[in-house]
Structure 1
Amino acid sequence: MTTPTKVLVVEDDDNLGLLLSGYLRAKGYEAELRTDGKQGAQAYAKNRFDLLILDVMLPLKDGFTLAKEIRAKDPEVPIIFLTARSMKQDTIQGFQSGADDYITKPFGMEELILRMEAVLRRTKGVVAKAEEPVKYTLGSCTFDVRKQHLRTPIRERKLTTKESDLLRLLCMHSNDVLDRSKALQEVWGNDSYFNGRSMDVYIAKLRKYLRDDPSLEIINIHGKGFRLVVP
């Protein structure tokens, strides 16, 4: 199975950020969301990303500054600006900051995906996006990420978006530790206490679904996160 393209989205509009990152995951990308320029810089410093999508008007550090700093360290990583700033000078400044593309809001999700793929073709030679539909075999169960569909030996179940996103992360880290904070950032957008309690409820639901195969188990790793044990 092809490794999904990893995308960092830095967007301070919570609703748009969650919508965008959720859409990218549904299309087979691995997306992380940060809500200000400082968080974006920290996320980039700690992880490898295949593509960056940056807003311009960000708290703490604007997108142009963030792009310049990243570009100084990494001349290869693709950068796309997604912003409401549509003046000609803004576009020029965006490309001068190191952008590979500059998209103004409002925008269409389908157009964004096509532009992402075009940038990836130019910069990487191939589109690294995972083949769709992405499927995981978990013992005697099958999980179709794109359709959000879980088939067990006993039943078939249509998962909610959050159930699907969380199970996908567990599958990507099967027999390894899925960091709790990472899961919260990926699926809920931040790692607040209340989101943590919500995630625990979803973990309990997934445990219940996977009980149809006794060889599967989701284990709590104290102080760290979760491990999906797959034979």
Structure 2
Amino acid sequence: MIDQHTPTRVATGHTVLVVEDDASIRTLLTSALTVAGYTVASASTGQEAMFEAGSRRPHLIVLDVMLPDTDGFRLTRELRAQGVYTPVLFLTARAGVEDRIIGLSSGGDDYVTKPFHVQEVLLRIRAILRRSNAPASTAGASPPLRYADLTLDEATHDVRRGDRPLKLSPTEFRLLACLLAHPERVLEKAEILQQVWQYDFSGDTRIVDTYIKNLRRKIDRDPPALIHTVRGVGYCLRLPRGETPPAGR
């Protein structure tokens, strides 16, 4: 049974796209999000979702995994392939750790299982928007994170390797920011899980491996490679052995 406690209204200015083929759940979420202060668009199929994501440009997508014409994991991969990096919160009856890993590996940012509490969904949405889609502000902003020729600006969400701009998903952005915050230090996979996902995956760290692989394809396309594996421990952002670290590091 889905809990229907009345949500607390917050002024957000954010648009949320609800993609759910069950009309009762779609109506419940649309109503709850509207009462909470969000602008809401909705879709019942993957095709409709692709159209709404392109035309509405939502700040976040609440996405059912089982849709009549596709599944949410495949849809998220299609969005990412088209350069749409809108945060995605999955809703699904699949409760297994393996399914959570598949979902988050496909480009999702969070995962709520059915039956769910509306307040939990709202809290997850607020958390995702805080860490992934917060309005940029230059007032008192921290200086960009830098290592070698890699730069990440947390205020503008601009990421560059040399002169080459990089398009990262919200989760990839947080993962890179985590590595850049601790250059040349080996980060254990469990520590990365806590800092980036804030989850306990019952010791299963494959989600970290998957996202590191995705990040490497973008970051280390040009030499020298900066993301290194410390076998049996975790990952480290550093220059290859023998190369001089940048000044100030």
> What TM-score, normalized by structure 1, do the two folds share?
0.52
Opposite residue 66 of structure 2, the aligned amino acid is: M
Distance (Å, rounded) in 1 between the aligned partners of 2:37 and 2:117: 18
Distance (Å, rounded) in 2 between the aligned partners of 1:106 and 1:125: 29
Structure that is richer in helix per residue: 1
Q: 2:58 aligns with which of 40, 44, 49?
A: 49
Q: Which runs of 5+ in 2 are unaligned?
A: 1-10, 137-249
Give secondary structure in 1 for the equivalent of 2:26.
helix
Give secondary structure in 2 for the equivalent of 1:113.
helix
Give secondary structure in 2 for the equivalent of 1:85.
coil
Q: Which runs of 5+ in 1 are unaligned?
A: 128-231
Task: Rate the CA distance shift 1:115–1:15 in 2: closer, same or farther, 3 A.
Answer: same
8 A Cα contact 1:120 1:126, kept in partner: no
Percent of matched pairs sharing the same residue = 43
**1:82 and 2:107 equivalent?**
no
Q: What is the CA distance between 1:3 and its match in structure 2?
A: 6.7
For residues 169-227 of structure 1, the C-alpha deviation after alignment (integer angstroms, 9 at most, x for no partner) is xxxxxxxxxxxxxxxxxxxxxxxxxxxxxxxxxxxxxxxxxxxxxxxxxxxxxxxxxxx
Distance (Å, rounded) in 2 between the aligned partners of 1:27 and 1:101: 19
Opposite residue 63 of structure 2, the aligned amino acid is: L
> Which structure exhibits the higher relative contact order, with contacts defined as CA atoms closer than 8 Å and separated by 6 or more residues?
1
- Aligned pairs (5 A) from 1:17-166: 17-74=26-83, 76-125=85-134
Distance (Å, rounded) in 1 between the aligned partners of 2:12 and 2:36: 13
Opposite residue 117 of structure 2, the aligned amino acid is: G
8 A Cα contact 1:82 1:103, kept in partner: yes
> What TM-score, normalized by structure 2, do the two folds share?
0.48
Distance (Å, rounded) in 2 between the aligned partners of 1:74 and 1:113: 26
Q: How many residues align?
A: 126
CA RMSD of aligned residues (A): 1.8
Q: What is the CA distance between 1:32 and its match in structure 2?
A: 0.9
For residues 19-72 of structure 1, the C-alpha deviation after alignment (integer angstroms, 9 at most, x for no partner) is 111110011001111111111112112221100010001011211111111122
